[in-house]
Amino acid sequence: MTETNAFQMVVSRIDAICDRLNIKDVYRLRLEKCERELTVNFPVRMDDGTVKVFTGFRVHHNDTRGPAKGGLRYHPDVTLDETRALAALMTLKAAVVNIPFGGAKGAVVCNPELMSQAEIERMTRRYTNEISMLIGPDRDIPAPDIGTNPQVMAWMMDTYSMLKGHTVLAVVTGKPVGIGGSKGRLGATGRGCVINARLVAEHLGIGLEGATVAVQGFGNVGSVVARLLAREGSKVVAISDVKGGIYNEKGLDVEAVFRYNQQTGLVVDFKDAENITNTELLALPCDILVPAAIEDQIGKANAADVKARIIVEGANAPITPEADRILNNNRVLVVPDILANTGGVVVSYFEWVQDAQAFFWSEDEVNRQLQVVMDNAFHEVQEISQHEKLDMRNAAYMLAIKRIADAMEARGIFP
């Protein structure tokens, strides 16, 4: 459903807000470009003895407000343009929740589902070596994303530490708890989405208990969202993954679906539901729709079919700009990605702080602090939205861009 290139979508939204805020041209121009872009092509020995050359990227969009921060994606279709867009979104996310990071993103073009653990480890270690001049605990801190996980982060941290000659815990976040990871990190993005779902539902006077929910994507984000919302008393009527979805208008037993998914790797053919497509899921009548899969799922062609009252963007950029306009006209309230799914970067910040202090928090403390940060960000965005008569996405962009521009103004230009 891609209607234009991913980075240009983000830039077009940045430009519109810069116009509205009368942002100085020099700051606008800096936000329209990425500060650093590294493309690496590196060999990896495969299990059968052959050597394959992989292509990887690491992009810094803007580090005015602090070290660059962003995930690492392993996917066969990832591109440099997509990596740029995700880095820019990270800059905005960190500013929306007011944590001292800039935005970065990394990627390797590969299909980890077709690789052994040993091959993924060798590829990760070589990629880490190739980008080692860009990363560091005070410069750029990678984290997990699609296709990567705490084990990959552990390999990255170990490789970087070997290059430096001493252990550097804070070079990545999303690590296993036993080597400097934070409790509560694994489910933080999904938990942040649920916090936002609760706040926006309360704003509309419907609450979460009894609310009907459809979740597209059942990975680290979508599965956490579905399980937590079910525990809140919501009726999760539909769930999908890349291979298809399931629907039961009376509500799904989400924990049973989760166990089934763990056993089979699927959600389709779950015994107490009918199979549906991802396209059908997005058009279901429900109170809350959570697209938590990949980009560009709701575009010009299908936006008018959406019947949800609220969309909480668990994925990055699941709605195109043209679809945004259609949804706004149809009075669908969208909680944008740069607010809704920032729980992961917030708890990554907590992990970075804990590593730097060598003092670790309980999971209850992590979740409590996450609630405070997300609460504050939601209400700041909501206040701008109401005062400026804007949708929440443009309000979130206003909040972020004003903070970044203020930081640029304060720092000035070197030399």
227 and 159 housed in the same domain: no
Tell me the one-letter amino acid at 197.
A
Residue 222: CB atoms within 10 A of its CB come to 25
215 and 136 housed in the same domain: no
257 and 292 housed in the same domain: yes
For residue range 360-397, what is the model confidence (pLDDT) as tens digits?
A: 999 999 999 999 999 999 999 999 999 999 999 999 99
Which of 294-300's residues contact partners 24+ apart within 8 Å by CB, and which partners?
294/146, 294/217, 294/318, 295/2, 295/6, 295/82, 295/85, 296/1, 296/2, 296/3, 296/6, 296/320, 297/1, 297/216, 298/1, 298/323, 298/327, 299/1, 299/2, 299/3, 299/323, 300/3, 300/326
Quick check: 1 pLDDT over 50?
no
> Dihedral through CA 270, CA 257, CA 220, CA 54, nearest 10?
-30
For residue range 144-183, what is the model confidence (pLDDT) as tens digits?
A: 998 999 999 999 999 999 999 999 999 999 999 999 999 9
CATH number of the CATH domain containing 234: 3.40.50.720
220 and 192 housed in the same domain: yes
Classify residue 260: in a domain, yes or no: yes
60 and 95 housed in the same domain: yes
Classify residue 351: in a domain, yes or no: no
Classify residue 179: in a domain, yes or no: no
Partnered with residue 311 across adjacent β-strands are 289, 334
For residue range 173-226, what is the model confidence (pLDDT) as tens digits?
A: 999 999 999 999 989 999 999 999 999 999 999 889 999 999 999 998 999 999
195 and 155 housed in the same domain: no
pLDDT of residue 2: 44
For residue range 82-129, what is the model confidence (pLDDT) as tens digits?
A: 999 999 999 999 999 999 999 999 999 999 999 999 999 999 999 999
Tell me the one-letter amino acid at 344.
G
Rounded to whole angstroms, the Cα distance separating 313 from 331 reads: 16
Classify residue 181: in a domain, yes or no: no
> How does strand 274-276 pair with strand 288-291?
unpaired
pTM of the model: 0.93
242 and 125 housed in the same domain: no
- Direct distance between the N- and C-terminal alpha carbons of the chain, in angstroms, rounded to an integer: 44
Catalytic residues: 105
Q: Which domain holds residue 86?
A: 6-168
155 and 204 housed in the same domain: no
Classify residue 371: in a domain, yes or no: no
